[in-house]
Amino acid sequence: MAPRPRAKRLGAIDRRSVHLQVDGIAVQALEGDTVLTAILLHGGQTGADAFNQTKQAGFCLMGACQSCWVWTSNAQRLRACDAEVKEGLEVFTTSKGAGW
């Protein structure tokens, strides 16, 4: 069973749905969501840090700390906090969706 996500929407939900894949799992988001929002709402985390493999879930949300990197299927790196979701987008984290 997917772990209960920590983040929660507080309104503004009358938006078109957008479908993406995170680590191969189908995720439904709303138009205007960032990739990080989509990941956080689905209990996921972003890439593990390079040193002690602790998972990350963003920190600053303003494109400054760089702890929210994800990768697209053509190996392009994205900052999840300032990339908007797009229909059919495929992203990969290294966290394998475990844990939270």
What number of other Cβ atoms are within 10 A of residue 63's Cβ? 11
Residues 27 to 86 in contact with ligand FES, rule: CB under 6 A: 58-61, 63-68, 79, 81
Task: Kindly write out the interface string for residues 42-71 of this chain, putting x where it contacts other proteins by CB under 8 A and - elsewhere.
Answer: ---x---xxxx-xxxxxxxxxxxxxx----
Supply 20's token pair.
């993406």
Q: Which stretch binds other proteins (CB under 8 A): 20-28, 29-37, 86-94?
A: 29-37
| In the complex, minimum distance from the CB of residue 26 to other proteins, in angstroms, rounded to a whole number | 20
By CB under 8 A, name the binding residues for other proteins.
6-16, 30-34, 37, 40-41, 45, 49-52, 54-67, 74-78, 82, 84, 98-100
